[in-house]
Structure 1
């Protein structure tokens, strides 16, 4: 059963709506063609940022000059990865709406303990995350202005002609190193950064927040099983047990729908984050760069948020079987004991946030990505 309205994640969904990647409240039941066209138009308006970066990278490789090659690769992968996030999310937005509606259903199985307190806490965290991501993009935007003189000195020392004062190295078939074209393009880069990076970071936070709501439901399921086993009357015990089983099956179904929606995003996240971090680490070993630090922290936090949520979801799903084993299960009749064995066996298969062929989003995945980034760092160091 689904709720008529979504009553969870109010702040996150409002921020996503502002970025045109989630429908407004009045359109949530039917996000039509206009909604998708607005999203496509917004993202297409930023494509020149990625185009200029890729052209700079291509020309430097072709000429074998390799100027700022590490930052070019990191920025290109970072922009491409964010587009990948955003378009993968919008492609599954109807499934995502379905998930939020099912998690907003407080009638079928009751209101989980601490639901309102947890929802309020997550809404506050969403505000803090929004402030953080705005600050991170501002840091990325201000960095080239703070490092303007440093860039000019590098041009003289290395006898090159890079355009200073822009977010990353770019090349376009027009003279950008003059007033007002450079200033106009810088403003365009700042606008594009907010559209692209802010949206992708909000998606990562919303996935973590969804995992937290699933954890809340799993805890509710666990207490449902324990309450059934404490019941003395066989008929009432069986009714409560059957209700808990149905609730558990429903949560498993929602978790599978979540993986249908986000596994493609997580696959890209794991695949690209290691490369981005490795390139930035290589740059930071050579020289300080505020913009590079902002990118590094942004991608690492984005990955860590989902992995922490995924680890907690895994642990909570396993805790149901552990709690049943520690209960007075031996006091119930043999028929119910046989059913308990089936429940415990199912609980041995934990619920994860799936990352496709890379496995699952857990603490171990953070270490895997960091190891991958070190491999890229070693590769870049050996070829420089």
Structure 2
């Protein structure tokens, strides 16, 4: 039974991204049908913004930056969610193994760290809810500005919707406009919020692996300090098995997360570049700011945990070297060397085939965003 990520998984269930508790390891067809229906029914913003972008280009309009931001963001979250769900069975097995303490005892600080992650999960969800609420009320606060801009710049935008939208029929009439607005709110909740929650689930699972590594270092120190040779070798053998188990969990996390994390390499730079360009051309609207803040936070928490995982995995070698191995027999000292050598290779979670999540990828993405910003600024001259 999966006992970690309790709050996060319950949020994902609400968003049709994670199956019920009894079906987590073998979800029924109804789960995938519900998920496909959710994705299909939330495509209204992507369709409307795509159509609006096409019409704007045909009319030689310069008012296309909002369309680009929304289209990139929606394509990104659709890809992110779909890739995560495609690996759901294997990811659930990882969560199950991270919840299992039968073979290796539960870390003494597990409950404390689990409560901290639970608190962070609630805080993170609250932040995302506030961002989505602001996103949804934004059209009411700026409707008069939209009407004024239509008059002064000869635009024909539909005011009162979450994003710029075009449809091949009149959507200004009641109740079509109101229905479209509520549909767009539903789309934001189930796509952007769902993708943000997946990012936290990825971060949380990496932090649980860090807890295992920290526990391993305590077990290793205890094994080395054991005076009885037979008991010491028994504990050390258990440490070696535990270390292999941790590396296997790291390999699986890397394998099943790399597909969805590739999103950040593909689209984050382009999205941030478009938002930055829009900010240079005009004041940054609240809806674009909400997208930017939510996306940056989702990227940040994953990369920080990825770096934390790398640092903890490589610190095993230092912990082994700093133990009292020099007071033990030659054979034991040789065994310690194997652990030190193995720990030289860090546990990394790749974001596609070219990079892995760490502090470096944050800098790389913002460098890419600056390149896109420069390109858009040059093309507009």
2:237 matched residue in structure 1: 242
Partner Cα distance (2:377, 2:25) in 1: 52
1:223 matched residue in structure 2: 218
Provide, for residues 119-175 of structure 1, a one-character-per-residue CA deviation record: whole Å limited to 9, x for no partner. Answer: 111111111111111111111111122111111121112112111111221111111
Partner Cα distance (1:133, 1:358) in 2: 29
Aligned to 1:352, the other structure's residue is in SS state coil
Q: Which moved more, 1:343-352 or 1:201-210?
A: 343-352
Aligned length: 379
Partner Cα distance (1:48, 1:191) in 2: 10
Tell me whether 1:102 sits opposite 2:97 in the alignment: yes
Partner Cα distance (2:232, 2:166) in 1: 71
Partner Cα distance (2:354, 2:368) in 1: 12
4+ runs deviating over 6 angstroms: none
Offset at 1:357? 2.6
2:293 matched residue in structure 1: 297
Aligned to 1:163, the other structure's residue is in SS state coil
Candidates 356, 374, 377, aligned match of 2:373: 377
Task: Judge conservation of contact 2:45–2:163 (CA < 8 Å) in 1.
Answer: no
- Alpha-carbon RMSD across the aligned residues, in angstroms, is 1.1
2:271 matched residue in structure 1: 276
Task: Judge conservation of contact 1:214–1:251 (CA < 8 Å) in 2.
Answer: yes
Q: Which moved more, 1:342-351 or 1:136-145?
A: 136-145
Task: Judge conservation of contact 1:86–1:200 (CA < 8 Å) in 2.
Answer: yes
Task: Judge conservation of contact 2:13–2:19 (CA < 8 Å) in 1.
Answer: yes
Tell me whether 1:322 sits opposite 2:318 in the alignment: yes
Counting only pairs closer than 5 Å after superposition, residues 124-163 of structure 1 correspond to structure 2 as 124-163=119-158
Aligned to 2:269, the other structure's residue is in SS state helix
Q: Which moved more, 1:185-194 or 1:132-141?
A: 132-141
Provide, for residues 7-66 of structure 1, a one-character-per-residue CA deviation record: whole Å limited to 9, x for no partner. Answer: 111101111111111111122232121111111111111112211111111222233223
Partner Cα distance (2:375, 2:119) in 1: 42
Tell me whether 1:93 sits opposite 2:88 in the alignment: yes
2:347 matched residue in structure 1: 351
Task: Judge conservation of contact 1:307–1:363 (CA < 8 Å) in 2.
Answer: yes
The two structures have a TM-score, normalised by structure 2, of 0.97
Tell me whether 1:177 sits opposite 2:145 in the alignment: no
2:54 matched residue in structure 1: 58
Tell me whether 1:362 sits opposite 2:355 in the alignment: no
Candidates 19, 22, 34, aligned match of 1:23: 19
Task: Judge conservation of contact 1:284–1:292 (CA < 8 Å) in 2.
Answer: no
